[in-house]
Structure 1
Amino acid sequence: MTTRNVTRIIRSHASKDGDGVKINRVHGFNDAKFSPFLLIDELKSENPDDYIGGFPPHPHRGIETLTYMLTGHFQHRDHMGNVGELKTGGAQWMSAGKGVIHSEMPIMSEGGLHGFQIWINLPAAKKMNPAQYHDFQTEEINEYGTDKNLLRVISGNLTESGHALTGPLQKTGVEAVVADWRAVEKETRTLNVSERYQVNLFVYRGDIDVEGTLVPQGHFAQLSAGETISLTAQKEAGVLILAGEPINEPVVHYGPFVMNTMEEINQAMRDYENGVLTD
């Protein structure tokens, strides 16, 4: 089997979104090697002033979002009437499709927050599908291994030593794996994903070794083609594994909208301004 190697390492950069929420971001709207993913935002702070403003009501079209909380408590509300509690260890998935208006606001007013929001592109044929939403509490997310070497699979399917590892989120707009690997120093993990998938990693704690290449905390690594991923924790580590089938279509991005042409972006803005984005 061919083992995937690191082809590029990208450092996350500080930014703000929502009502002044501090984040660290990596995006690849114009990078085909990111596909089917578009960006990952890491929300991490011990200071409530950095997150208390949350993300008041705002629109999306043409994407899916997967939000995953290591520590903290946010509440999701949307125009469809969904109210979801995103608590420590849980996740929530939303397919904006043709249009969604939602908010993500902190329930907590003190203490540490650490979580992620991942944008996943939708193929053109599904960008105007009806919006969908589902949340997964921590006990619904499948775990494999021990506290010293734990893999939590949120979305999709992969294998290890011939055994299937699956996440509760399966019916998405594009085939995608999102998993969280946590390990103490010197622990290793060898995983297999489809050769059709592109694989990216985001290291949120410690450092990891990928076939002789060190990927430090706060960095995003793109991997080569292959069948196998081999990871070693250089110190206590936490890594998000993002793998999926690439979408070989044009990407045009403006704010919360991701479509295939600028005319489609302009239409999304007109629809939002006219109050018909979600119709």
Structure 2
Amino acid sequence: MPQRTINRVIASHPSQDGDGVKISRVHDFGGGLDPFLMLDELGSEQPDEYIGGFPPHPHRGIQTLTYVVHGGLMHEDHLGHSSSIGSGDAQWMHTGRGIIHSEMPLTDHAGLHAFQLWINLAARDKLSPATYRDIKREEMPHLEEEGSELIALGGHWASATQAVDGPLDALAGQAGIAHVRLEGGATLTLEQDAPTLLAYVFEGELQIAGQTVSAQRLASLNAGETLTLSSHSGAQVLLLAGHPHGEPIAHYGPFVMNQREELDQALRDYRDGTLAQ
């Protein structure tokens, strides 16, 4: 079966969001990662770099997936949801027509390390009702091979001998999300033919088809049916698989629509208090 190879590598860049939260960000609002838009990594042992969190703010036209490696986050929104997630947990938010929410940090002995992924909604779903869901680590199945482990948040993931399906089954763009850990010298081969396949390395170095990807870099992969990951010294990786919408993208701040006129409408709706009705 054809092996996936690297098409391009994108280095994350330092950024800041919310109330001064320091993040490392990869984004492409031009459709180059379709159906994905942005991946933020929050990671620090210094509380002043994240403690301000993300006070109440709106969204329209996307889904967000927040995954915590360690530490935690507390979520509240205008729909009445109020919950917290800790190490290994995730929260999924379908913003649809509109949602106003906040995310505030909870720390452990190592501070906070988390990710937030933005997934674009298809045009037909941009104004759908908003929904929210927590996913606890106990719900996420593991695929284990010698020296490697895959934790499935969403989508279908398979090796030659095992297959698992993540609990998130309503991700836009038929998306799949997985967290992979590789020990030094380990190799993991997966069967994955999704049109879009991305690998974000957040610890160590990863080898794909003879090419090394360093930490804080996202590799966009060419078409194929199998993906072989290996690491000489150990690595941790987020895998993102999906099917492109192939639609125009119009982006402004927390809103992602298809046309500029729709962004203007989102701004008017937010200002007059009807965005999330």
**TM range, smaller chain:** over 0.9
Q: Which amino acid aligns with 1:14?
A: P
- Residue 202 of structure 2, aligned match among 160, 183, 204: 204
Secondary structure of the residue aligned to 1:67 is: strand
- Residue 248 of structure 1, aligned match among 246, 261, 264: 246
Aligned to 1:226: 224
Q: Which amino acid aligns with 1:94?
A: M
Which deviations, in whole Å up to 9, do the C-alpha atoms of 1:20-53 show, x marking residues without a partner?
Answer: 00000000111x3301100000000000001100
Q: Which amino acid aligns with 1:104?
A: E
Partners in 1 of 2:146 and 2:272 — Cα distance? Answer: 51
Contact kept? 2:143, 2:163, Cα under 8 Å = no
Partners in 2 of 1:108 and 1:179 — Cα distance? Answer: 23
1:168-183 aligned at under 5 Å gives the runs 168-183=167-182
Secondary structure of the residue aligned to 1:169 is: coil
1:6-17 aligned at under 5 Å gives the runs 6-17=6-17
Instruction: Give identity over the alignment, percent.
Output: 47
The alpha-carbon deviation at position 162 of structure 1 amounts to 5.4
Aligned to 1:5: 5
Partners in 2 of 1:169 and 1:147 — Cα distance? Answer: 26
Which deviations, in whole Å up to 9, do the C-alpha atoms of 1:170-205 show, x marking residues without a partner?
Answer: 0223200100000111111111123x4210110000
The alpha-carbon deviation at position 111 of structure 1 amounts to 4.0
Q: 1:124 to 1:168 in 2, by over 3 A?
A: same
Secondary structure of the residue aligned to 1:52 is: coil
Aligned to 1:49: 48
Contact kept? 1:48, 1:109, Cα under 8 Å = no
Partners in 2 of 1:211 and 1:200 — Cα distance? Answer: 14
Partners in 2 of 1:87 and 1:116 — Cα distance? Answer: 12
Gaps of 5+ in 2: none
Residues 5-14 or 157-166, more deviating: 157-166
Secondary structure of the residue aligned to 1:206 is: strand
Secondary structure of the residue aligned to 1:76 is: strand
Q: 1:146 to 1:50 in 2, by over 3 A?
A: farther
- Count of matched residue positions in the alignment of Structure 1 and Structure 2: 277
Aligned to 1:139: 138
Contact kept? 1:12, 1:220, Cα under 8 Å = yes
CA RMSD of aligned residues (A): 1.3
Secondary structure of the residue aligned to 2:270 is: helix
TM-score (norm 1): 0.96
